Structure 1
Amino acid sequence: MQDKTNTIFGIYPIKEALTSQVVFDKVFVQKGIDSDKIESLVKDLEKANVSVSIVPFEKLNRLTRGNHQGIVALTSPVAFHSLESVVAKALESDKPPLFLVLDQITDVRNFGAILRTAECTGVDAVIIQKSGGAPVSGDTVKTSAGAIFKIPICKVEHIKDAIFYLQGSGIITIAATEKTQTEIYSLDLARPVAIIMGSEGKGVSKSVLGLVDERASLPLLGEINSLNVSVACGAFLYEITRQRRL
């Protein structure tokens, strides 16, 4: 079950949270529910740029044991940053920009571990998609060891749009994927770069792979043909750190 400290359920509590400028991570609405009040609330949430997903009744029951009335909201312990602002700030810095793009990472423990490593390696911002990824929750705070409060997180409508924006800003986009013979160690990572890490099951999506500037892999010398995404991310980020310290 979701950590109750960041869960709000019911029409009026969520409406009150919205007017009180609570930072929402995601809102889930029961599929097929017929309610004018929920329909009105969803419109207000969407105007406020909050991600709303339609889900089965059972999903809401797993999120809370209370009378959810067909709508459950997950709030965020941190405020999100705009992609434009973090890119502008990174470009003004004395060091080469470094961004991390997470393409549908769904496990909150992987997400938290990645945030921790990203903070330790000087990543300028972590970019996630509004829908489909792990929630920014109390569990994320725990697994990130508080790093979530120290590194900007950007939520975007579509990962592909973020990649286009990064490329237009002069940042080289590199996908971490086994679908290449090019190892990360052979690339120049002292340049402004954004590393794209894919989901636990499918890796970087095909549509995103078709957009990136370069692809890179890690050598796998044993019999297992893949690494945990947070471990792979750490290897990528520390190779960047190594090159930039030479």
Structure 2
Amino acid sequence: MTTETTPTTNIFGIRAIIEAIESGSSINKIYLQKGLRGELFYELNKLIKTNNLTTSMVPVEKLDRLSKNSNHQGAVAQISPVEFYDLEELIEKTVESDKIPLFLLLDQVSDVRNFGAIIRTAECSGVNGIIIQKNGSAPVNAETIKTSAGAAFKIPICKVDHIKDALFLLQASDIKTVAATEKTEDSVYDIDFKQPIAIIMGSEHRGVNPSILKMVDYKAKLPLLGEIASLNVSVACGVLLYEAVRQRIVVGS
């Protein structure tokens, strides 16, 4: 269940962050002071590695700004304003419903504005859930929520250790996977989106990871008739999602 809280909350202090992790809070990112040492820090670092949390080593000045000059002890964590869904449960619930499953996987889309725009389009086009990777993905923070026009509170978002984990679960539930990539001769308009399907969009700079491309059922590219070699990822995502909507509307009419 998502919780309609607003902007990302910052918590600071090593002990407070340790307790937040141990309580299961959804943490976007932990900022640590460069050169931090000590027994409590090592305890925190162990939890960070165990839970595969994203961290960034920063100068003390940044921590001062994030904590508004409070006693941060060299550590500040950003708590996500939404709760993340369990992917296995969401797939099961979706498959059991009377709707044709439509999922969206983001392979390390890292820009928060792109992420927010994608969330908004996904909600408008009836996507059952968005799947992101714990590391390397844009956080669900205040800017993401603003760009999504609040859609981040209305659509399930799942975090996985690796996109491959999600692909295995989806394919095991007979949900076909299609990756948006220029490394194919197949057009997006050749894909049957009327079947249970999950669309994979790649990062802004690299696209879909080659190891992911080897696993998917289909690859699809968008026709580009101008001189620019690619579309913005949020725009490309919208094209694919609304091709799925178009096909499904035609079937349902």
TM-score, scaled relative to structure 2: 0.87
Give the RMSD, CA atoms, in angstroms.
2.3
Q: Is this contact kept in 2: 1:103–1:196, CA < 8 A?
A: yes
Equivalent position to 2:202, from 198, 202, 206: 198
- Note closer, same or farther for the CA distance 1:9–1:129 as it changes in structure 2 (3 Å cut): same
- Cα distance in 2 for residues equivalent to 1:4 and 1:189: 35
Equivalent position to 1:224, from 216, 224, 228: 228
- Cα distance in 1 for residues equivalent to 2:13 and 2:26: 17
Provide the identity percentage: 55
- Note closer, same or farther for the CA distance 1:102–1:42 as it changes in structure 2 (3 Å cut): same
Task: Look up the equivalent residue of 1:155 and give its one-letter code.
Answer: K
- Aligned counterpart, 1:9: 12
1:153-199 CA distance string (max 9 Å, x none) = 00000111111111111111100011111111111110010000000
Equivalent position to 1:76, from 61, 73, 80: 80
1:120 counterpart = 2:121: no
- Cα distance in 2 for residues equivalent to 1:21 and 1:101: 23
- Note closer, same or farther for the CA distance 1:122–1:104 as it changes in structure 2 (3 Å cut): same
- Aligned counterpart, 1:91: 95
Q: Is this contact kept in 2: 1:60–1:72, CA < 8 A?
A: no
SS of alignment partner, residue 56 of structure 1:
strand
- Cα distance in 1 for residues equivalent to 2:153 and 2:100: 22
What is the CA distance between 1:19 and its match in structure 2?
6.2
What is the CA distance between 1:22 and its match in structure 2?
3.9
1:235 counterpart = 2:236: no
Equivalent position to 2:133, from 125, 129, 133: 129
1:59-81 CA distance string (max 9 Å, x none) = 98277264543322111111001
Choose 10-19 or 235-244, whichever is displaced more: 10-19
Equivalent position to 1:51, from 26, 50, 53: 53
- Cα distance in 1 for residues equivalent to 2:21 and 2:101: 34
TM-score, scaled relative to structure 1: 0.90
Choose 8-17 or 78-87, whichever is displaced more: 8-17
What is the CA distance between 1:45 and its match in structure 2?
5.3
- Aligned counterpart, 2:169: 165
Equivalent pairs counted in the alignment come to 242
- Aligned counterpart, 1:38: 41
Q: Is this contact kept in 2: 1:6–1:138, CA < 8 A?
A: no
- Cα distance in 2 for residues equivalent to 1:157 and 1:21: 16
Q: Is this contact kept in 2: 1:60–1:68, CA < 8 A?
A: no
Task: Look up the equivalent residue of 2:53 and give its one-letter code.
Answer: S
For structure 1, the 5+ residue unaligned runs are none
Q: Is this contact kept in 2: 1:42–1:52, CA < 8 A?
A: no
Equivalent position to 2:179, from 175, 179, 186: 175
- Cα distance in 2 for residues equivalent to 1:204 and 1:183: 16
For structure 2, the 5+ residue unaligned runs are 1-5
